[in-house]
Structure 1
Amino acid sequence: MQKKNLAALVASLFILPVAAHADVTVYGFLSGGIESAKATGNGTATNEYTSRTRVVDHNSRIGFKGWEDLGGGTKAIWQVESSLRNFENGGTNDKGQTASFATRNTFVGIDNADFGKILVGQNDSAYKTFTGSSNNALGTDVFVNTTADNFNANSVNSRGEARLANSIHWFSPNWAGFTLGGSWGVDEARGNDGSGNSTDAKRISLGLGYNWGSLNLATAWDKQYDKGVAANTNTATLSSGKNIAFYSIAASYKFDFGTFIGGNYEWGTFDQVGGGQLKQNDWLIALGQDIGPASIKLSYGELGTLKNVGAGVNGDDFKAKQWALGGYYNLSKSTQLLAYFTKITNNAKATANFANNPIYSNNQGLLNASLAGGDDPQAFGIGMKVSF
């Protein structure tokens, strides 16, 4: 009898933790590849990134999430997601930054069937969720999580998207195909601008989406308070009473025979520190075709003229464009092969870069690493992705 009781006790030590955590999901993917990359065209050899082979991490990650039923259609929800950034480089990227825990969407919240979700922590803004790279249903970022991804604050398209630390979010349930969302990123630092004025650099995002079968429509707005730009640039800096705002619309449709078409249009306004307001638009068109387990993708985007610049400054010098062509082949439900070619063409003062695995032609390996104006990043690569 004692032996049986001891055996039951030992068994319970293994069974109980599993039962207690049965609602926890572990998820993520590892995606890596090899590519030939360069960034030349600046005209100064010391400010160029000559052609070389790179081993790259395509935004790999691991996450843990779970929920508890509170009754009445309400659940407590949580998530911890971490970047496995640069696993190919020992965890350190080309700016000398290392990966750490909970670097991606990490929050605690409430999910109600009638009201929707409220999240507190760090999460993609409503702007990014509805019209940016987070909207997988929209699908206009056809090479998301690869070097060919062109949706990012420092890229050609979707420059208003962000992941907000110290933030609160609300996302509605689906109401007859419509969804709403809002984000508030609070400013806990409350620093001073260059003139010594106190600032409250909060960030507000709103989004609206609509889905009807294969049709997806979305629009979003994002505003950064007490942020301006230096005269005749699009580089943000703290400035009391100045603001940066973005507006975007997007649409996509996938036909029954596997053809996909989509597009984004975004316009931004930038208050200058010394007065006046700059404007700059960008747009993108994306195409795709499924062929059995394979899919071919093509996208083209442009960052337009910086408008309202001062005398002696050419707004066209801030223009950029990006081509991306490639495809995917699904070996199974969780394993995928990928290949791509992408090129960004920057005018003289433009510094648009890849959203993932950016190229730095100056100060490689340091926190102030940057791409020199007028350099044109390009990459050809192949890779493999395994999801879990």
Structure 2
Amino acid sequence: MKITVRRGDSLWAYSQLFRVPLQLIVDSNPNVNPNALQAGQTVDIPRYAARTHRIASGQSLWSIASSGGLPVDALPLLNPTAQPNALAVGQLIRVPSRVTSLVVQTARPYGYDELQEDLNRLADIYPFMRHRSIGSSVMGKPIPEIRVGAGRKEVHADASFHGNEWITTPVLVRFLNEYLLALTNNGNIRGLVMSPFYLATTLSLVPMVNPDGVDLVVNGLPAEEPYRSDALAINGGSYDFSGWKANIRGVDLNNQFPALWAREAARGPRVPSPRDYAGAEPLTEPESQAIADLTRSSDFSRVLAFHTQGQVIFWGFEGLEPPESATLAAEFARVSGYRPVGYADSSAGYKDWFIQDWRRPGFTIEVGRGVNPLPLSQLEEIYQQSLGILLAALYQ
């Protein structure tokens, strides 16, 4: 919610007025000098959305604020040109509305448009949430990364490396919404107060690594050529894309990383395929390149890649993982009920590469049970299990 600064105002005063932590207001306005506010400039206030209200007979700014349980001084900040003592019947003003519940709608088939819709809604209400593109998919869809927090410890989680594992995306988006809501309402999640995590940790989320593959599974063939014809040919002429894991070019993005890549490539398909084709060489695809570049330019202390299915947590790679990986995996297993597995007969995955090159904890978390794509009926159970893991990644 944007307000207009008055002479003598301060961000600290806004923090007191709107009951929002000062740090969140400062972080919501990175281009504003907190020690030199200028009258007339606009400032973003998290936790609130502005709605339009039409003045009725006998109403004043103060009566509107009082009836809505709002700070009396908030309305003039949203309506700097309105005359408080001369409001006209039918006049439109802006009224702040506290956001005290989730705003995302994740219990639905969740493609790229749904992700963008929810992220835009969250960015409007929580402007301290940093939202940027780390690259683009084959079809040109920007791949969003979200960052929340001011701490030195960087924790990364991503989802939907595989098209038919799209149910992992709404898991991360709902967690993001719950985290933002708790931060701005001085709340907690499962009894854990969130504000200390904001100050100690920077959370990085890439909710949809493979937007083209997800849309292919959720929405069917794209209209654009050559992607439509090529994907249909790769799928053997079938319009059933429920088994499709790859990106739109038929490359499995989680077999793309230079961690014993040749071994993985040798046992998979040699040509583009709905699943398991590792590409002609490592990191040929823009989506895997985007994640690799993000990781190289960051200082992640641990990474979590959410996949489906099996209710398993993979945490090792060739004995290169640090001792703390086992400790973290045990805590993840405790809070989720999933089974921790140190080693699996696979390679060239994102967590494999992270462990190999950084010698830091990396995890592949296989949520849910059944045949991909998992049904929405599992989403709530999957979310509650994943929530424990995501919280543990912050507090451990």
Higher strand share: 1
TM-score (norm: length of structure 1)? 0.26
Higher helix share: 2
Normalised TM-score (structure 2) = 0.26
